[in-house]
Structure 1
Amino acid sequence: MRFPAEHPLTIVKLDPVGRVVARYPGTIHPAAPGWIAIVADWQLGTVEVGPLRFEPGDRLIEYFSFVEPINAFALFAPDGTFKGWYANVACPAYLEERTLFWRDLYIDIIGAPDGQITVLDEEELEESQLSQRDPEGYACILAARDRLLTALRTRAYPFHLYG
């Protein structure tokens, strides 16, 4: 399904077991083949995650892969200043009608403008006991984390766009 730029969509975030945890509006932004990019405004209060601070009025350009198990959000202050990357290990995104769904898979990674990289939530993955329940799924999550770290360090798409 292809949509023109500026086309409105609803974005739905699912937790690792598939429950809806967030739903918000966005508009389509140009992206590379195999990806969809969405512009969305931060609608929650102030949230600090590692070295990154999300605040009311911030704008995100969110890059979702339809192939790779990752996504990445470029965060900007209201004045346009780039604040950093927030990336997720996730199932590949999918579209249904005018809704984009993505399923978060525990591990998050922050890329600061100064190049510092912070990996978050590895303990949450361990606490899930996925390594015992689904060793193959667990290994896939770790492999996706490693690919995401490499993409950040080498500034592969979409990380070469900002920062």
Structure 2
Amino acid sequence: MSANSAEQTGRLEVVLVKAGRTKIRYGAELLGDDGTRVAVSAPWAGAGVRDFGFVRFEPGDVFTEYYWRDRWYAVKAVRDAEGALKGWYCDITRPAVLSGAELVVEDLDLDLWVSADGTAVLRLDEDEFADSGLSESDPRAAAAAVAALDELEALARGGGLEALLA
């Protein structure tokens, strides 16, 4: 890992960008950076409870988040306040960029949820992705996003998601 302010402080800011605007920004503890993958830990950064129907994110939840500089996704292991795994929330993103103490990630609307026991593998927000216009404005990025979603779904269904994070 190269010397930077994130390494020196052990903290960084995760900046999630969507459609050119900052969607959310939150502090996280840097767990590791091998030059390709950055791992951080952060408490649930949302306001209050967010109930998706298949999972609830709530105060006390802890996200161990994995971002790649060379892959079009981020994977977040979600644990409750007692440490029990709820599942994995996967964001389809452009490759992450770490600059100083900021980890910037561009959300491309597609998501995948995988329950802790692996029985639920849900593709999410495909309608938002279609409405985003990315297929017309940046066909290469759109193709990379769809390929990334397919890759993560295959890993999840084949039991390989945890190995990706090891």
TM-score of the pair, normalised by structure 1: 0.87
Kindly indicate whether the alpha-carbon contact (under 8 Å) linking 1:5 and 1:27 is maintained by their aligned counterparts in 2: no
**Aligned ranges 1:112-127 → 2 under 5 Å:** 112-115=115-118, 116-127=120-131
Kindly indicate whether the alpha-carbon contact (under 8 Å) linking 1:8 and 1:28 is maintained by their aligned counterparts in 2: yes
Which residue identity does 1:93 align to in structure 2?
A: A
**Residues 46/144 of structure 1: CA separation in 2 closer, same or farther (3 Å cut):** same
Which residue identity does 1:110 align to in structure 2?
A: W
- Are positions 1:151 and 2:165 aligned together? no
| Alpha-carbon distance in structure 1 between the residues aligned to 2:164 and 2:53 | 22
- Aligned pair count? 160
**Aligned ranges 1:16-27 → 2 under 5 Å:** 17-27=19-29
- Are positions 1:75 and 2:73 aligned together? no
Tell me by how many angstroms 1:60 deviates. Answer: 0.6
Structure 2, unmatched stretches of 5+, are none
**Aligned ranges 1:60-71 → 2 under 5 Å:** 60-71=63-74
Tell me by how many angstroms 1:57 deviates. Answer: 0.9
**Residues 134/98 of structure 1: CA separation in 2 closer, same or farther (3 Å cut):** closer
| Alpha-carbon distance in structure 2 between the residues aligned to 1:161 and 1:129 | 30
Kindly indicate whether the alpha-carbon contact (under 8 Å) linking 1:110 and 1:119 is maintained by their aligned counterparts in 2: yes
TM-score of the pair, normalised by structure 2: 0.86
| Alpha-carbon distance in structure 1 between the residues aligned to 2:138 and 2:97 | 23
Name the structure where helix makes up a greater proportion of residues: 2
Q: Which segments of structure 1 move beyond 3 Å, counting only runs of 4 or more? A: 1-6, 30-33, 154-157
**Aligned ranges 1:1-150 → 2 under 5 Å:** 1-2=2-3, 4=7, 7-15=10-18, 17-30=19-32, 34-44=36-46, 45-115=48-118, 116-150=120-154
Q: Secondary structure, in 3 states, of the residue corresponding to 1:160?
A: helix
Structure 1 range deviating more: 126-135 or 60-69 = 126-135
Q: Secondary structure, in 3 states, of the residue corresponding to 1:71?
A: strand
| Alpha-carbon distance in structure 2 between the residues aligned to 1:149 and 1:5 | 36
Kindly indicate whether the alpha-carbon contact (under 8 Å) linking 1:61 and 1:75 is maintained by their aligned counterparts in 2: yes
| Alpha-carbon distance in structure 1 between the residues aligned to 2:64 and 2:38 | 10
1:63-83 deviations in whole A, cap 9, x for unaligned? Answer: 001110110110011101111
Which residue identity does 1:132 align to in structure 2?
A: E
| Alpha-carbon distance in structure 2 between the residues aligned to 1:9 and 1:109 | 25
Tell me by how many angstroms 1:52 deviates. Answer: 1.7
